[in-house]
Structure 1
Amino acid sequence: MQLRKKTLLIIGAALIGLIVVLYATASTILLHDFNNLEAQYVRQDVARALDALDDDLSNLDTSAQDYAEWDDTYSFVDTRNQEFVKSNFVNSTFVYLRLNLLVLLDSDGKTIFSKGFDLKSKTEIPIPASLQQHLTEALIESQTSSEEGYPAKTGVVTLPEATLLIASKPIVNSNAQGPPRGTLILARYLDNTEIGLLSELTHLSVDFRLPSLDFKVGATNYSGQGAKVLARSRQDLDNLKLKISNLKSVEILIEPLSDSVVAGYALIRDIRGKLALLLRVEVDRVISRQGQATLELFTFSILAVGLIFSAIALLLLENLVLARLADLSTSVSNIAANGDPDLRVQIMPGGDELASLADTINQMLEALGNSQVERKESEYRYRLIAENSTDMITRHDPKGVFIYVSPASHALLGYEPSELIGRLPNDYFHPDDLETVAKAHSKVLALPVTYTVSYRIRHKDGKYIWFETTSRTIRDPETGSVQEIIGVSRDISVRKQTEQELRESDRPAGPPFYL
């Protein structure tokens, strides 16, 4: 195969390989980072929804405390003075506090006053007897053995009739003293209206679902607006239910519902400590779509730039290398055909490698006599480079012991080479980086690869600086056993500090903006 064809195939294969590698790398890094960023923001949204629910309960608890720790309420439990009810538990109070239920119990648990209220019609409605009974039973179940009467509780309670946000407080005087004369219960339905208020407050798509059967697989009842998005396939739904069933109370589950929607889930316990609600927050996948668009634009840009540079490279190779190399090959073939040692190849202009090759062919016989001198000079030049390099060049035995250290060690670490030769590098590594360096050392010994690792190393003055070392092994060509390890190290402390400053500058200064 002609050299031109080989060059074309090599450049084409390199271009394709470059695009594939860059796409795979960018896809792995960019999409992974974008997905992590998306998950982070969704977790923050779920936390905001939980905080909004906690604020709702906190306000309800404050209202219950205001009425329960009041001399008028304390007196009413004994006197049953209806003027107290008429002046304090009017409809406007329920509207202002957004209450659906108010119950006063005496110390024996008997109801002395109760009132239900419909916030939509702003009218009083009767409280179902079953709801009041179940609510009382829930409070009793939440009571611990050390508590007397009905305990002070604030939280969520799921009853057969409805799901409620409740706050219960013992009735005492205004100084919060005296034996409790009963219990005050305030409640608000966690219905569509309340959920809508939470969504409006947080600017999120918030939904609460009612898992059953203690969150066993397949037990969750999914319904509502997001059901069509959620149920993409039976397998996806089963997998999601399995993840939810294994979800802990303090965890937040992030699960993409489709290419355009991602959801965050969190479990909520009721006042009895039992799992009661599944909070779901749906968020538009703006970040994920932006990551995909960025990846596609990056790929097309690399392809376009690669094609342009490949065409330029082929043109330059033809004019500067291939055509001249063909002329040189013809001249060498003519000399070989004639067999005349006095013939010489034509001197090529340009002063580059090809011109140097032509001159080397002409001077090959003369150069043989001086090869030994040139070899020594070459060795001297390489040693001169090593001795004067700003990077620290080291040689190690297979156990890692220094057997050669370039003079750059003094500028980088403050140690003279003689202070390091014969010592183990582990004596100078930061304790937190020993495991990382050990893994890198094992990998270099196990595989014939060049490996780069970053770590902290102790300067002679006692401070730790960041080092980056690129290592590879020298192996026996017959047995393949490791004879030496060559390392090239440099100080990257400034780079590490710059990266840290960039990360801090990129950190968002306030709450994110959501569409």
Structure 2
Amino acid sequence: MCSLKINSLSYSNTMTLRKKTLLIVGISLMGLLGLLFTVSSTILLKGFTQLEYQAAQDNTRRLIDVLEDELGNLATEVEDYAEWDDTYQYMETQDDIFILSNLGQSTFDNLNLNSIALVNLNGQIVFGQGYDLITDQLRPFSQEHIENITKKLSSVYDLTKNKIRGFIQLNEGMLMIATNPVLTSKKQGPSRGVLIMGRYLDHHRLERLQKLIHLSIHLQSVKIPQLPLDFSKAYFNLLDTQQESVVQILDQERIAGYALIKDLYQQPQALLRVELPREIYYQGLTTIRYLNGFVLLLALLFAALILWLFERLVLARLATLSHEVRRIRATDHLSTVTVVGRDELAHLALTINEMISALRTSYLRVRQSEASLAEAQRIAHVGNWEWEITTNHVQWSDEVYRILGFKPQSCSPDYLLFLERVHPEDRKMVTQTFEESVKEGKTYSIEHRIVQKEGEERIVHTRGEVLHKEGYQTIYMIGTLQDITEIKQAQAETVRLLEENRFLIHRSMAIQEAERRDLTRELHDEFGQWITAIQADAETIVELARIEPTLARSEKIGISADAILTIATQMYDLVHSLIRQLRPSGLDELGLVESLREIITAWQKRYPEVQCRFTVSDDFRNMEENINITLYRIVQECLTNIAKYSKATVVTIRLQMDATEETLTLEVIDNGQGMHPVQHKRGLGLIGMRERVEALLGKMSLETAPGCGVKIAIKIPIAEEYQQKYKSWKK
């Protein structure tokens, strides 16, 4: 029976679910409220700030419109006086009655003018009068003052033809000015001069504008060396953005809009500042405070409702479920957890019961799996181990005990105990490998010997992996230990058999070549002599037939002798061909190089369409017979394959010796159609060549590709110790 184990909780030291819920709801509520307050304050305050900026821009625009209206009214007054028959007549007669009647002090007061001037076509002042609106006193205009004004105006406009209005900067201050050519009431000319009216934009005028728009207005010239900070910032902002107005916050109580005043030359001359109290901003702050208070109240009520519902619907039922689960532990009864209802808590109780049943089944399966794993490890001679470095806790499977020569679980596993079983000659290597793995945190895999308790020596394969924590410090190691003694013995036996098989193959090849050499000698020495004797006898018969001619006998003797001679010649040629195939006689008489030249020349005659090049870089007269016959057979086989398959036009054969490395190299290269390096047909020719080369402890390489020809390279060691091995094959 598998029992469900539940850790008991110390409620005095552990925070209960109710406290956790209260804490989570409180923190979540405060976080949401803080986020809501921040977002709402940011959005609403941003909206109120935008309204405040818009109000400042609107009032600045309103001031600009008032100034435009002022200029428009001034231009209208100038036009009314300039395009009038009385004025037109005055420019001719200069009658003082016109001045007294129309341009007296009352005109300055009614029109709020600071200056009036009539200038003729020669630039001379016909009439010029100034007026101080504060002291209500007239003051004369000097010719120099009028000329300064007309000079500024005439540098851009033709005063006798153009109507002008705008601002000009004089020493006395910013002057709002309007001019109009002097014409008749029917607007006919020619013009007799120009009428100029001006109004200073001074402190007195600004006060009147303040009363008109009910806002504080300041005028600041931009031609002074050091502008006030807010004017300077606004000035450069207006120049950079090319906007009509900009808005800046002066302090917590005031916000201001700025507009640039340009003269008739469109050059900046002064800044107008319109100040507003920050009523909209503070109204927004008040609104946000009320809104946040209302939201906080709703949130508290909502949180209280959630906690009350959670207590009744969840916490109380969880307490009941917890009590029943604790009772399971006390009674070891696995089917007593029940909750009335069909909600998630009821499903939780059902799931707990199903989990208990599944745990019991899983426990049995785990036990069976552990038994199967232990049996499999015993059969495969593979054990596993674990080592927790921080606590120095080591664990071995039963098979590890058996491999090391212990009874399973007969002693406490330990790293030093394992080292005691390692062969003394391998102990340093094992220790060094293990320490490097722990230090560098890398996997290791080694083979070494162990000595069991009875003294039996075994070969094992050890593999280990490391697990890390933050900071790459090794904290845990797992690994396997496998007894590979039988595998190593089988491998050694396989290698031995392969070596014996290769020796037998090489020995058989040497015997075959010796038999061919003996057969060639016998064919040449005995059978060749017999054929030569037959040929000599045939020639004697022919000769005798000629000396003692008898007609009938001579004919028969001649026919028989010719037949014997023909057959003997054919037999001789056949035997000679067989001798060359069995054993190239030139190897013993002429040596390797001349024999290769002979076979290459003969092949070239049979295939004249292929150009064959043969180069030699050294003297090869003192080579061992096995080396000579091997190289001869390889060249012979290569030429045969080239003739059959390559369709080459050029063949290159290079034979060279490297005295430093004491190796001999043979290369056979053609420019034929080539073949696939992997999917080519595995013929006996290539296999035979490779076997011959490996018999001499050499190496053979094949380089080819479709359409790129074939290159076969042979490298054979020719040092004295190798040549001694070659001689042993002849025994």
- Normalising by structure 2, we get a TM-score of 0.44
> Given the alignment of the two structures, is residue 89 of structure 1 paired with residue 99 of structure 2, yes or no?
no
Report the CA distance shift for 1:353/1:44 in structure 2 as closer, same or farther (over 3 A): same
Aligned partner (choices 39, 42, 62) of residue 28 of structure 1 = 42
> Given the alignment of the two structures, is residue 190 of structure 1 paired with residue 201 of structure 2, yes or no?
yes
SS in 2 for 1:87: helix
Mapping of residues 154-193 of structure 1, within 5 Å: 154-193=165-204
Letter in 2 for 1:156: F
Q: Is the 8 A contact 1:11 1:310 kept in 2?
A: yes
The equivalent residue for 2:278 is: 285
The equivalent residue for 2:315 is: 322
Deviation at 1:263, TM superposition (A): 0.3
SS in 2 for 1:107: coil
Q: Is the 8 A contact 2:153 2:159 kept in 1?
A: no
Q: Is the 8 A contact 1:140 1:150 kept in 2?
A: no
Letter in 2 for 1:202: I
Q: Give the Cα–Cα distance (whole angstroms) in 1 for the partners of residues 142 and 308 of structure 2.
A: 89
Q: Is the 8 A contact 2:83 2:186 kept in 1?
A: yes
The equivalent residue for 1:354 is: 345
Deviation at 1:281, TM superposition (A): 0.7
Mapping of residues 437-456 of structure 1, within 5 Å: none
Q: Give the Cα–Cα distance (whole angstroms) in 2 for the partners of residues 9 and 119 of structure 1.
A: 76
Q: Is the 8 A contact 2:78 2:180 kept in 1?
A: yes
Q: Is the 8 A contact 1:68 1:170 kept in 2?
A: yes
Deviation at 1:237, TM superposition (A): 7.4
Aligned partner (choices 95, 100, 103) of residue 117 of structure 2 = 103
Q: Give the Cα–Cα distance (whole angstroms) in 2 for the partners of residues 200 and 42 of structure 1.
A: 17
Q: Is the 8 A contact 1:206 1:280 kept in 2?
A: yes
Mapping of residues 206-245 of structure 1, within 5 Å: 206-212=217-223, 219=225, 221-222=227-228, 239-240=233-234, 242-245=236-239
Q: Give the Cα–Cα distance (whole angstroms) in 2 for the partners of residues 327 and 68 of structure 1.
A: 105
User: Please, what is the CA RMSD of the aligned residues?
Assistant: 2.7
Q: Is the 8 A contact 1:268 1:279 kept in 2?
A: yes
Deviation at 1:187, TM superposition (A): 0.7
The equivalent residue for 2:138 is: 124
Identity, % of aligned positions: 39
Per-residue CA deviations over 1:476-515 (Å, capped at 9, x if unaligned) read: xxxxxxxxxxxxxxxxxxxxxxxxxxxxxxxxxxxxxxxx
Q: Give the Cα–Cα distance (whole angstroms) in 2 for the partners of residues 298 and 104 of structure 1.
A: 66
SS in 2 for 1:187: strand
Deviation at 1:202, TM superposition (A): 1.6
The equivalent residue for 1:300 is: 293
Segments of structure 2 that go 5 or more residues without pairing to the other structure are 1-14, 358-731
SS in 2 for 1:124: strand
Aligned partner (choices 201, 207, 210) of residue 199 of structure 1 = 210
Report the CA distance shift for 1:148/1:265 in structure 2 as closer, same or farther (over 3 A): closer
Structure 1, 295-304 or 91-100: larger mean CA deviation: 295-304
Deviation at 1:131, TM superposition (A): 3.8
Deviation at 1:279, TM superposition (A): 1.4
Letter in 2 for 1:347: V
Per-residue CA deviations over 1:121-178 (Å, capped at 9, x if unaligned) read: 32312235654343222212332xxx46474211111111221111111111111121
Report the CA distance shift for 1:117/1:78 in structure 2 as closer, same or farther (over 3 A): same
Deviation at 1:192, TM superposition (A): 1.4
Q: Is the 8 A contact 1:141 1:272 kept in 2?
A: no
Q: Is the 8 A contact 1:138 1:272 kept in 2?
A: no
Q: Give the Cα–Cα distance (whole angstroms) in 2 for the partners of residues 359 and 137 of structure 1.
A: 105
Segments of structure 1 that go 5 or more residues without pairing to the other structure are 214-218, 223-230, 367-515
The equivalent residue for 2:163 is: 152
Letter in 1 for 2:193: G
> Given the alignment of the two structures, is residue 344 of structure 1 paired with residue 336 of structure 2, yes or no?
yes
Q: Give the Cα–Cα distance (whole angstroms) in 2 for the partners of residues 317 and 133 of structure 1.
A: 93
Letter in 2 for 1:345: V
SS in 2 for 1:254: strand
Mapping of residues 481-492 of structure 1, within 5 Å: none
Q: Give the Cα–Cα distance (whole angstroms) in 2 for the partners of residues 131 and 328 of structure 1.
A: 104
> Given the alignment of the two structures, is residue 258 of structure 1 paired with residue 251 of structure 2, yes or no?
yes
Deviation at 1:8, TM superposition (A): 1.9
| Number of equivalences | 344
The equivalent residue for 2:240 is: 246
Q: Give the Cα–Cα distance (whole angstroms) in 2 for the partners of residues 318 and 129 of structure 1.
A: 98
SS in 2 for 1:163: strand
Q: Give the Cα–Cα distance (whole angstroms) in 2 for the partners of residues 278 and 310 of structure 1.
A: 56
The equivalent residue for 1:384 is: none
Structure 1, 53-62 or 189-198: larger mean CA deviation: 189-198
Q: Give the Cα–Cα distance (whole angstroms) in 1 for the partners of residues 83 and 121 of structure 2.
A: 15
Aligned partner (choices 259, 265, 278) of residue 272 of structure 1 = 265
SS in 2 for 1:104: strand
> Given the alignment of the two structures, is residue 79 of structure 1 paired with residue 90 of structure 2, yes or no?
no
- Which has more radius of gyration? 2
Deviation at 1:325, TM superposition (A): 0.7
> Given the alignment of the two structures, is residue 62 of structure 1 paired with residue 99 of structure 2, yes or no?
no
Q: Give the Cα–Cα distance (whole angstroms) in 1 for the partners of residues 339 and 298 of structure 2.
A: 37
Per-residue CA deviations over 1:249-286 (Å, capped at 9, x if unaligned) read: x4311101011110001112112221122111111111
Q: Give the Cα–Cα distance (whole angstroms) in 1 for the partners of residues 108 and 257 of structure 2.
A: 33
Q: Is the 8 A contact 2:159 2:181 kept in 1?
A: no
SS in 2 for 1:120: coil
Q: Give the Cα–Cα distance (whole angstroms) in 2 for the partners of residues 156 and 238 of structure 1.
A: 21
Aligned partner (choices 323, 333, 338) of residue 326 of structure 2 = 333
Q: Is the 8 A contact 1:199 1:205 kept in 2?
A: yes
- Normalising by structure 1, we get a TM-score of 0.62
Q: Give the Cα–Cα distance (whole angstroms) in 2 for the partners of residues 163 and 247 of structure 1.
A: 25
Q: Give the Cα–Cα distance (whole angstroms) in 2 for the partners of residues 205 and 345 of structure 1.
A: 81
Q: Give the Cα–Cα distance (whole angstroms) in 1 for the partners of residues 152 and 344 of structure 2.
A: 90
Report the CA distance shift for 1:71/1:246 in structure 2 as closer, same or farther (over 3 A): same
Deviation at 1:238, TM superposition (A): 6.3
Letter in 1 for 2:83: E
Q: Is the 8 A contact 2:215 2:274 kept in 1?
A: yes
Per-residue CA deviations over 1:291-339 (Å, capped at 9, x if unaligned) read: 1222222233333333343334333322332122111122133235534
The equivalent residue for 2:502 is: none
Q: Is the 8 A contact 2:125 2:143 kept in 1?
A: no
> Given the alignment of the two structures, is residue 15 of structure 1 paired with residue 45 of structure 2, yes or no?
no
Letter in 2 for 1:281: V
